[in-house]
Amino acid sequence: MSITSEFKEFALKGNVVDLAVGVIIGAAFGKIVDSIVKDLIMPLVGKAVGGLDFSNYFVLLSDPPAAFAGPMTYEALTKAGVPLFAYGNFITVAVNFVILAFIIFLMIRQINRMKKATPPAPAPATPEDIVLLRQIRDSLSK
């Protein structure tokens, strides 16, 4: 079997295609959750805490270059190459993870409910020859 035919067989298996679709949908879903956290939830949390922006919480690990004249924001300092301990970004990513994990939990919970809702299929009827053999067995054991 040539390598191209082996690869074609591998790539066209249902599991590989299902995995690829899952990864693509997961990436898109991750972007949606990231936007929800970044654009909707974190501004509300910041407003509730007093107008704070978590993305600008950081600790300078070294002084900015002498020629640096920009604002002391996360974006400007990282562009200038200043090492930062950016715990505000970590808080944002952690909230993002918790929300994503909660949404996945709700989805799996609903899928499990739907699986339980379907009644089990009735057992197939016992073939008549088996029924007759059981009756013979029972009458012989008396």
pLDDT tens digits for range 5-34? 888 777 777 677 778 888 898 888 888 887
Task: Please provide the average confidence, as pLDDT, over all residues in the chain.
Answer: 83
- Structure confidence at residue 72 (pLDDT): 86
The CA distance from 77 to 69, in Å, is 10
Residue 21 maps to a domain = yes
CA angle 47, 52, 57 (to 5 degrees): 150
Count of structural domains within the chain: 1
The answer to whether residue 45 scores a pLDDT higher than 80 is no
Residue 76 maps to a domain = no
CATH number at residue 102: 1.10.1200.120
Overall residue count recorded for the chain in this entry = 142
pLDDT tens digits for range 103-134? 888 888 888 888 777 777 788 888 999 999 99
Average pLDDT over residues 84-93: 85
The answer to whether residue 36 scores a pLDDT higher than 70 is yes
- Structure confidence at residue 15 (pLDDT): 75
The CA distance from 37 to 60, in Å, is 25
Residue 57 maps to a domain = no
Q: What are the CB-based long-range contacts (under 8 Å, 24+) for 55-59?
A: 55/88, 55/89, 55/92, 56/88, 57/86, 57/87, 57/88, 57/91, 58/84, 58/85, 58/86, 58/87, 58/88, 58/89, 59/84, 59/85, 59/87
Most confident of the following: 35-44, 96-105, 106-115, 130-139: 130-139
- Structure confidence at residue 136 (pLDDT): 92
Residue 70 maps to a domain = no
Q: What pTM value is reported for the model?
A: 0.53
Residues 6+ apart with CB under 8 A from 76: 70
Phi-psi region of 125 (alpha: psi -120 to 50; beta: other; left: phi over 0): beta
Residue 140 maps to a domain = no
Residue 15 maps to a domain = yes
Residue 130 maps to a domain = yes
Residue 108 maps to a domain = yes
The residue range of the domain holding 106 is: 3-52+86-135
